[in-house]
Homo-oligomer: A and B are copies of this chain.
Amino acid sequence: MKKMKQAEAVEPKRTRLSPDQRRQDFIRKATELFSEEGFDGGTRELARKLGVTQPLLYRYFPSKEELIREVYRTVYIDRWKDSWDDLLADRSRPIRVRLEEFYRDYTNTIFTREWMRIYLFSGLKGFDLNRWYVGMIQDRILARIVEEYRHEAGLPAQSPPAPAELELAWVLHSGIFYYGIRKYIYESPVLEDKERVIANALDVFLEGISRVFGTAVKVRAAYGRPTAGAVSR
A residues with a Cβ closer than 8 A to B are 38, 40, 113, 117, 120-121, 123-124, 126, 130-131, 134-135, 163-164, 166-168, 170-179, 181-193, 196-197, 200-201, 203-212, 216-217, 220-228, 230
Report the separation of the CA atoms of residues A225 and B191 in the bound assembly, to the nearest whole angstrom: 9
Contacts of A188 in B (CB 8 A): 130-131, 134-135, 226
Contacts A168-B200, A192-B223, A200-B217 supplied; 5 other A-B pairs, CB < 8 Å: A131-B188, A173-B175, A177-B178, A191-B221, A203-B208
Report the separation of the CA atoms of residues A120 and B209 in the bound assembly, to the nearest whole angstrom: 31
Copies of this subunit? 2
Given contacts A200-B167, A207-B211, A216-B200, are A179 and B189 in contact (CB under 8 A)? no
Please determine whether B168 and A223 come into contact, CB atoms closer than 8 angstroms.
no
User: Which applies to chain A's interface (DSSP): helix, strand, loop or mixed?
Assistant: helix
Report the separation of the CA atoms of residues A206 and B228 in the bound assembly, to the nearest whole angstrom: 34
Report the separation of the CA atoms of residues A175 and B207 in the bound assembly, to the nearest whole angstrom: 17
Contacts of A193 in B (CB 8 A): 220-221
Nearest Cβ on chain B to A170's Cβ, whole angstroms: 7
Please determine whether B220 and A190 come into contact, CB atoms closer than 8 angstroms.
no
Please determine whether A230 and B124 come into contact, CB atoms closer than 8 angstroms.
no
19 contacts between A and B (CB under 8 A): A38-B38, A123-B186, A124-B124, A130-B188, A164-B191, A164-B200, A170-B175, A170-B182, A171-B179, A171-B197, A174-B174, A174-B178, A189-B226, A193-B220, A200-B212, A200-B216, A203-B211, A204-B208, A207-B208
Nearest Cβ on chain B to A188's Cβ, whole angstroms: 5
Nearest Cβ on chain B to A172's Cβ, whole angstroms: 7
Neighbour of A221 across the interface among B184, B192, B220, B227, CB < 8 A: B192
Contacts of A40 in B (CB 8 A): 40
Contacts of A135 in B (CB 8 A): 188
Contacts of A226 in B (CB 8 A): 187-189
Contacts of A206 in B (CB 8 A): 208
Report the separation of the CA atoms of residues A131 and B185 in the bound assembly, to the nearest whole angstrom: 10
Given contacts A124-B38, A131-B187, are A203 and B212 in contact (CB under 8 A)? yes
Report the separation of the CA atoms of residues A217 and B135 in the bound assembly, to the nearest whole angstrom: 33
